[in-house]
Amino acid sequence: MIKAIDLTKRYGKHTAVNKINFEIAKGEIIGFLGPNGAGKSTTMNMISGYFAPTDGKILVDGEDILDDPEKTRGKIGYLPEHPPLYMDMTVKEYLKFAGQLKKIKPADLKGDIDRITDLVKITDVRGRLIKNLSKGYRQRVGMAQALLGNPQLLILDEPTVGLDPKQIIEIRNLIKDLSDDHTIILSSHILPEISAVCDRVLIINKGEIVASDTPENLAENLAGMHKLHLQVKGDEEKIRKALDTLDVLKDVTVQSAREEGVMSVLVEAGKDADIREDVFYALAKKKCPILQMRPMDMSLEEIFLNLTTVEGGAN
Amino acid sequence: MLAVLKKELLTYFTTSIGYIFMGVFLLISGILFTMGNIFGMNSDYPSFLGGLIMIFLLVVPLLTMKTYSEESKLKTDQLLMTAPQSTAGIVAGKFLAAASLFLLTLIITGLYPLFLSFHARLDTAQIIGTYIGFFFLGASFISIGVYISSLTDSQAGAAILTFCVLIITWIIDFIGSVMPVTPLSGVVFALILTALAALWMYNATKTPLAAAIPVVFGLIIIGAVYLINQDLYINLIGKTLSWFSLTKRFSNFPLGILKLDAVIYYLSFSGFFLFLTTQRIEKQRWS
């Protein structure tokens, strides 16, 4: 549905987004991930038509968005980083205005507003002035604005900022529900959110895409190691001796755990080696019972830090 | 456009701006009318209306300072600019909202001549003509204010700048009358304009070649005109400045003369500034 070709944005001499290429299929949920100032919001602003790219182009449904900007903008619902709210309006007035801007037929608009205020759970504050709402409510009003007119493409820039954990889960579920008939691009710095919701993650750093894959694949490919976390009964020396007999292990760290006489052990093997059985028998032979064994996948946080800091250092 | 127009009108009255604008304008005009026309027993309404322009000039910044500066400050322009609306339509909506509020206020002042008509015979056509002139003049003021509001994201800055520019258009005839009238000063003025055009061209394109185009053409035209008809340079500065004199063209309306060229002048003046505003906003996408 969307294709970005050599997309570039420069502000004077500063390059915010540098020749990025990506493609998003219909119905996909894509997560933009990156540190602050990486170019996530700039990229979203370009897709939504708020900024024009300095170079390169964006195709929506095969058409360059600059050919008929008004038509393309009509297909997109956009929630920017700062929800564009008019503080002196009530929620209802605001949504009515947003609907009129989006050229929703007056006959459909009322029903649409009812449906969406229900969906994002702001029905009870419809008559209140936006300036009197809490941050979480404001965020949801912004979200409602993006959903008006049921656009095919939703661009959500940090949609869960300022929400409490319960609301975050609600919004997450909402996004999942919407994904049935919408294409969604969202950005976040909360990583579990991305892995919980997105089909695919684009990690952006310094205006460039440094990785693009499913959250699971990213974790698998980039972890590079098979790690196990163990709780073993016995003293350190005995455990080390037992594990030294295994050649596949690359790294072993042993620390005393909270429980007395129990060590907390971290073993790392080369990629794709399943060491669970070997570790079990090796320790069993030395009469060191394993109380707990837990595979340690590299979390998205670690991958993210890995990619952005390593890449950053290399530049 | 209609959506923006409705929303702007709504905001004028949900915030205090609309009330302050109408209140201040009606209060001051009411005092002047009572003192001058009622107590002074003067039935010359059109010249009173002409004097009101100065009061209107004081309150125009109130009407226009928020139009765009607040949108870019609060980032609500992101809603407007990503909606399926043309930039020109959005600018037109904002302008028409300010103009409608102004028109509404003018209609309320229509009560004054009504009071006068109980005591004196008034020339209705003349008064209506003056109102028409006032409205078009006011619309031109508003268009300047809307443009200035798009230049900055500070409301106060926009208000002060608008006020200064309007004062300058008010006294521009006076400025023109003290400028040198010799042909030489006219040539120098034309050269300065050419240099400014070249500078602007260079700024926009960053290529010296493009900047050379206005210089070459400017010099050829200046030289040719000098050889053919030197008299054209006499009082060139004054003549050029008077193009921007909004109030000079108003002077015919209170006399009961409805001149089409003045109306066209005001309409194109407003159109030009709204065009500049549209360009300015559209340019923000690209910078």
Model confidence pLDDT, tens digit, residues B219-273 = 888 888 888 888 888 888 888 888 888 888 888 888 878 888 889 999 999 999 9
Of the two residues A167 and B279, the one the predictor is more confident about is B279
Q: Is the pLDDT of residue A90 over 70?
A: yes
B5 CB within 8 Å of a chain A CB:
no
Residue of A nearest to B17 (CA): A88
Q: Which of A8-17, A216-225, B179-188 has the lowest mean pLDDT?
A: A216-225
Q: Do A101 and B85 touch (CB under 8 A)?
A: yes
Of the residues B79, B87, B90, the best mutation for testing chain A's interface (the one with the most A CB atoms within 10 Å of its CB) is B79
Alpha-carbon gap, residue B202 to A201, rounded angstroms = 43
Q: What is the pLDDT of residue B146?
A: 95
Q: Per residue in A239-282, pLDDT tens?
A: 888 888 887 777 788 888 788 888 888 887 766 667 788 888 88
Q: Is the pLDDT of residue A224 over 60?
A: no
Alpha-carbon gap, residue B173 to B184, rounded angstroms = 21
| A88, A97, A145 ranked by CB distance to B3: nearest | A97
**Largest interatomic CA distance in chain A:** 78
Paired tokens of A232: 């073993």
Angle between helices B124-151 and B260-286 (to 10 degrees): 20
Query: Which of helix, strand or coil describes residue A228?
Result: strand
Which secondary structure element, helix H or strand E, spans residue A192, and what is its range?
Answer: helix A191-197
- What is the rounded average pLDDT for all residues in chain B? 89
Q: Is the pLDDT of residue B284 over 90?
A: no
Q: What is the pLDDT of residue B214?
A: 82
Distance from CA of A229 to the nearest CA of B (A): 48
| A54, A84, A93 ranked by CB distance to B76: nearest | A84
Q: Is the pLDDT of residue A229 over 90?
A: no
Alpha-carbon gap, residue A234 to A283, rounded angstroms = 10
- Residue A121 to residues A118, A126, A143, A243, Cα–Cα distance (Å): 5, 10, 11, 55
H helical segments located in B206-254: 208-228, 236-243
What mean pLDDT is predicted for residues A293-307? 68
Q: Is the pLDDT of residue A312 over 50?
A: no
What mean pLDDT is predicted for residues A78-85? 92
Q: Is the pLDDT of residue B274 over 60?
A: yes
Q: What is the pLDDT of residue B150?
A: 93
> What is the band of B15 on the pLDDT scale with cuts at 50, 70, 90?
confident
Which chain A residues in 273-302 lie under 8 Å from chain B, judged by CB atoms?
A: none
Phi, psi of A287 (to 5 degrees): 60, 45
Q: Do A84 and B74 touch (CB under 8 A)?
A: yes
Q: Is the pLDDT of residue A310 over 60?
A: no
Neighbouring residues of A127: CB distance < 8 A, sequence distance ≥ 6: A90, A91, A92
Give the residue extent of every domain in chain A: 2-221, 225-297
Task: Please state which CATH number belongs to domain A2-221.
Answer: 3.40.50.300
The answer to whether A96 and A113 have CB atoms below 8 angstroms apart is yes
Q: What is the pLDDT of residue B149?
A: 94
A3 CB within 8 Å of a chain B CB:
no
- What is the rounded average pLDDT for all residues in chain A? 84
Place of tokens 């503080």: A87
Of the residues A50, A72, A85, A90, the best mutation for testing chain B's interface (the one with the most B CB atoms within 10 Å of its CB) is A50
Q: Is the pLDDT of residue B20 over 90?
A: yes
Position A177, amino acid: D
ipTM of the complex: 0.85
What residues in B contact A53, CB-CB < 8 Å? none
Paired tokens of B58: 């004081």
Q: Per residue in A30-48, pLDDT tens?
A: 998 887 788 889 999 999 9
Q: What is the pLDDT of residue A13?
A: 84
- Long-range contacts of the stretch B42-45 (C-beta < 8 A, 24+): B43/B116, B43/B119, B43/B120, B43/B121, B43/B122, B45/B112, B45/B113, B45/B116, B45/B122, B45/B127, B45/B130
A68 CB within 8 Å of a chain B CB:
no
**Largest interatomic CA distance in chain B:** 70
Q: What is the pLDDT of residue B135?
A: 93
Q: What is the pLDDT of residue A273?
A: 67
Q: Per residue in A91-126, pLDDT tens?
A: 999 999 999 999 999 999 999 999 999 988 899 999
State the SS3 of B196-214: HHHHHHHHHHCCHHHHHHH
Query: Measured at the alpha carbon of residue A233, what is the angle toward residues A232 and A238, in degrees to the nearest 5?
Result: 90
Residue of B nearest to A44 (CA): B82
Position B164, amino acid: C
Q: Is the pLDDT of residue A315 over 50?
A: no
Distance from CA of B27 to the nearest CA of A (A): 26
What residues in B contact A73, CB-CB < 8 Å? 82-84
Query: Which of helix, strand or coil describes residue A270?
Result: coil
Alpha-carbon gap, residue B133 to B258, rounded angstroms = 8
Neighbouring residues of B178: CB distance < 8 A, sequence distance ≥ 6: none
Q: Is the pLDDT of residue A154 over 70?
A: yes
Place of tokens 């400025």: B175
Helix-, strand-, coil-residue percentages of chain B, each rounded to 5: 85, 0, 15
Position B22, amino acid: M
Architecture of domain A225-297: 2-Layer Sandwich (3.30)
Distance from CA of B269 to the nearest CA of A (A): 28
What residues in A contact B67, CB-CB < 8 Å? none
Phi, psi of A233 (to 5 degrees): -85, 135
Alpha-carbon gap, residue B212 to B190, rounded angstroms = 16
The answer to whether B32 and B123 have CB atoms below 8 angstroms apart is no
> What is the band of A311 on the pLDDT scale with cuts at 50, 70, 90?
very low
Q: What is the pLDDT of residue A307?
A: 66
Q: Do A101 and B77 touch (CB under 8 A)?
A: no
Q: Which of A11-15, A53-57, A84-88, B276-280 has the lowest mean pLDDT?
A: A11-15
Q: Do A100 and B6 touch (CB under 8 A)?
A: yes
Paired tokens of B97: 């909202």
Q: What is the pLDDT of residue B245?
A: 84
